[in-house]
Copies of this chain bind each other. A is one copy, B any other.
């Protein structure tokens, strides 16, 4: 029973790690499609999204089977329950990358972004991909100290997001309302992607230690503006 349990737990953890990897890859490509107005890459992200959805369903089924057949307790139970919650976060990260790719596709052959803000999105994309990789690493290593660092990485995203809004709100914004709407939504998608990665870290800390660090409350409700 114990061996089967350990094997199944490893399989679940591997699935979650794989999902985080795919979500990070999706955001990397979505950013590329956005910055380069590349329809082919946008379509690829959109087409590949089903894979993340499939893995979500698989991960949920495995977690469910673990609970049904092994009836784990204490730390083991915490791992499975956290796994179920983490699936939802990573699934959402994939959906946010999909949203970015869809905006790139909608505006093609035009660029969705005014050149003025390309640098912000290149950097937000870089941070998002790094957070995806960190989430994957944390899922594989279960290192709570590494998990806590996701929050620090996210601070750079919050700073960029704030700066982006000050650019938008500036009277000198010359790119019209339609571009401002796209930039607002895109900024939000990157920020939310990062928040979900931080949440994965928070869940891993909980599953390892049984408690949430006191300096790590639920992510702040609203960074915007």
A residues neighboring B (CB under 8 Å) = 49, 53, 63-64, 67-68, 71, 73-74, 77-78, 81, 84-85, 88, 95, 98-99, 102-103, 106, 165, 168-169, 173, 177-178, 180-182, 184-185, 188, 218, 221-222, 224-225
The smallest beta-carbon distance between A112 and chain B, in angstroms, is: 10
Main secondary structure of the interface of A (DSSP, over half): helix
Taking CB atoms, residues of chain B closer than 8 Å to A180 are 177, 180-181, 184
In the complex, the count of this chain's copies comes to 2
**Minimal beta-carbon separation of A59 from chain B (angstroms):** 12
Task: Indicate which residue in B64, B169, B181 contacts A169 across the interface (CB closer than 8 Å).
Answer: B181
Check if B218 sits within 8 Å of A53, measured CB to CB.
yes
**6 A-B interface contacts by CB (under 8 A):** A67-B67, A67-B81, A81-B84, A99-B222, A165-B181, A180-B184
